[in-house]
């Protein structure tokens, strides 16, 4: 065993949290690549916490297995199953490091005490008791922790929502007061658009929490939106970078030194469906009832559009994520004739959202018009629009997603 691996009393320079996503640990070669990158930090005397996702597409594989057995599998059991993905990758990583002569220990959510809310499938991290992790770090071990999972008050496993390992990493960085939190992935950083959809997208050297939060919430899957929310709340500066090369990546932080970009990025989201509830009475309490029924089933509603009155009635359109469509439809149909008194409910599942985000947008009038012009030139019809201070979102037909993202990206010369 190399002498640096067992020495105690090494001068400890920093505590670093390094998170690696599924593609970065997809096979033996990649696992050893990650192990070696973590060893470099360790050899410098740093304390190293590694957060891993499940290998490759293992989470999807597990979900398919579950659906095959029971399409309506209980959420508790789904989480029990999904957490095995991350448990596999941390154990294999610890084995890889051991074979390279580096002391390492893998911990799951129980061992690392990642306490969450009750909700299976979409739990929020509440508290981490860092005693065990500190003990392992002080014993000069690399600590490898399962991303994406937690435990709730029933001592059951929970998961944090797809892509949730980023949030595990940020929570650990905050709880341990880490000196750095690096998110390693399969692209070189945060780009002006998903580089897989817009090939000429450009890597951003830095981006503010607010812009990143909007982009992540609007479909830029490079970071889990709650990880950005948490990073902002606890002032954890993030670096998003590639696990396959040493390029610098993107810094996500409170204030950007750079001049505020009019538009800093374009996001596309296909996980969306549009509901139209037509012929509602035009009187107080109608919108309340409609959305209360959905809220009672924990269904999140996103873009909302209410029409002006016509023939004494009004229509309301809104969007939900696709996995919520069946439950939303079921709920609305049950209440459609009785409490809602609507004439018709329709659902479009083949829609997507395209958004532009930029802190400089606040003070500039022509931004939305420029986006709509680009879509018009590309022959893309807009079904619904919503805006905030730093973003404009349009709902379009899914088949135009890539064309629209490219057209909007080009229009702003990003």
- As a whole number of Å, the end-to-end CA separation of the chain is 50
Say if CB 382 and CB 284 are below 8 A apart. no
357 touches ligand ADP by CB under 6 A: no
Residue 150 main-chain phi, psi, to 5 deg: -150, -175
Helices (H), 44-151: 58-69, 75-99, 131-138
Of the ranges 14-22, 76-84, 388-396, 399-407, which one interacts with Mg ion (CB under 5 A)?
A: 14-22
User: Which residues within the stretch 67-96 sit at the binding site for ligand ASP (CB under 6 A)?
Assistant: 85
**CB closer to ligand ASP, 300 vs 346:** 300
Return the DSSP state at 164: T
**What minimum distance in Å lies between the beta carbon of 62 and ligand ASP?**
9
Q: Return the one option of ligand ASP, ligand ADP, Mg ion, none that residue 148 interacts with (CB less than 5 to 8 A, by type).
A: ligand ASP
Chain residue at closest Cβ approach to Mg ion: 163
The C-alpha atoms of residue 153 and residue 158 are separated, in whole angstroms, by 10
23 touches ligand ASP by CB under 6 A: no
**CB closer to ligand ASP, 56 vs 249:** 56
User: Which residues within the stretch 35-94 sit at the binding site for ligand ADP (CB under 6 A)?
Assistant: 53
Say if CB 352 and CB 396 are below 8 A apart. yes
Of the ranges 150-158, 183-191, 300-308, 394-402, which one interacts with ligand ADP (CB under 6 A)?
A: 183-191
User: Which residues within the stretch 286-345 sit at the binding site for ligand ADP (CB under 6 A)?
Assistant: none
Q: Which of 5, 15, 16, 21 binds ligand ADP (CB under 6 A)?
A: 21
Q: Return the one option of ligand ADP, ligand ASP, Mg ion, none that residue 112 interacts with (CB less than 5 to 8 A, by type).
A: none
CA 276 to chain centre: 27
**Which phi-psi region, left, alpha or beta, contains residue 155 (left: φ > 0; alpha: ψ -120 to 50)?**
left
Using only the alpha carbons of the chain, give its radius of gyration. 23
Helices (H), 325-381: 325-335, 367-377
Residue 237 main-chain phi, psi, to 5 deg: -80, 130
164 touches ligand ASP by CB under 6 A: yes
Of the ranges 156-164, 206-214, 245-253, 391-399, which one interacts with ligand ASP (CB under 6 A)?
A: 156-164
> Which of 112, 185, 104, 168 lies closest to 141, judged by CA?
104
The C-alpha atoms of residue 170 and residue 173 are separated, in whole angstroms, by 5
Say if CB 253 and CB 303 are below 8 A apart. no
196 touches ligand ADP by CB under 6 A: yes
**What minimum distance in Å lies between the beta carbon of 31 and ligand ADP?**
14
Residue position matching structure tokens 């002498």: 3
Chain residue at closest Cβ approach to ligand ADP: 21
**What minimum distance in Å lies between the beta carbon of 53 and ligand ADP?**
5
List residues bridging with 128 in a β-sheet. 114
**CB closer to ligand ADP, 103 vs 221:** 221
Q: Which residues bind ligand ADP (CB under 6 A)?
A: 21-24, 53, 163, 185-187, 190-191, 193-196, 220-222, 265
Q: Which residues bind ligand ASP (CB under 6 A)?
A: 21-22, 53-54, 59, 85, 147-148, 162-165
């Amino acid at each position: 065993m190399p002498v640096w691996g067992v020495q105690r009393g090494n001068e400890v320079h920093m505590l670093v949290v390094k998170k690696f996503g599924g593609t970065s640990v997809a096979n033996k070669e990649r696992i050893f690549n990650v192990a070696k990158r973590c060893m470099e930090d360790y050899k410098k005397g740093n304390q190293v916490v590694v957060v891993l996702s499940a290998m490759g597409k293992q989470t999807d594989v597990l979900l398919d297995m579950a659906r095959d057995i029971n399409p309506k599998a209980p959420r508790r059991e789904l989480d029990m199953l999904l957490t095995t993905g991350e448990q596999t990758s941390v154990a294999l990583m610890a084995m890889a490091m051991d074979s390279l002569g580096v002391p390492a220990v893998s911990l799951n959510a129980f061992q690392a005490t990642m306490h969450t809310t009750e909700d299976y499938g979409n739990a929020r991290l509440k508290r981490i008791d860092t005693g065990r992790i500190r003990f392992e770090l002080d014993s000069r071990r690399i600590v490898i922790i399962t991303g994406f999972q937690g435990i709730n008050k029933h001592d059951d496993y929970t998961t944090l929502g797809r892509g949730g390992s980023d949030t595990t990493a940020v929570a650990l960085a905050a709880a341990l007061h880490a000196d750095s939190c690096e998110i390693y992935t399969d692209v070189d950083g945060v780009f002006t658009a998903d580089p897989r959809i817009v090939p000429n997208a450009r890597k951003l050297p830095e981006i503010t929490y607010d812009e990143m939060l909007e982009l992540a919430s609007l479909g830029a899957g490079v970071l889990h939106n709650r990880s950005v929310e948490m990073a902002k709340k606890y002032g954890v500066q993030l670096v998003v970078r590639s696990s396959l090369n040493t390029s610098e990546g993107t810094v996500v932080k409170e204030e950007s030194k750079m001049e505020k970009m009019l538009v800093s990025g374009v996001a596309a989201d296909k996980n969306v469906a549009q509901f139209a509830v037509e012929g509602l009475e035009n009187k107080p309490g109608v919108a309340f009832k409609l959305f209360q029924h959905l809220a009672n089933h924990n269904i999140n509603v996103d873009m909302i559009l209410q029409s002006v009155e016509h023939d004494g009635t009004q229509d309301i359109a809104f969007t939900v994520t696709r996995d919520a469509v069946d439950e939303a439809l079921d709920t609305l149909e049950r209440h459609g004739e009785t409490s809602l008194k609507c004439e018709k409910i329709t659902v479009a599942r083949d829609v997507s959202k395209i958004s532009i985000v930029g802190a400089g947008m606040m003070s500039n009038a022509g931004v939305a018009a420029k986006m709509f012009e680009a879509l018009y030139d590309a022959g893309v019809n807009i079904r619904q629009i919503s805006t905030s201070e730093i973003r404009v979102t349009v709902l379009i037909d899914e088949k135009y997603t890539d064309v629209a993202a490219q057209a909007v990206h080009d229009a702003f010369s990003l």
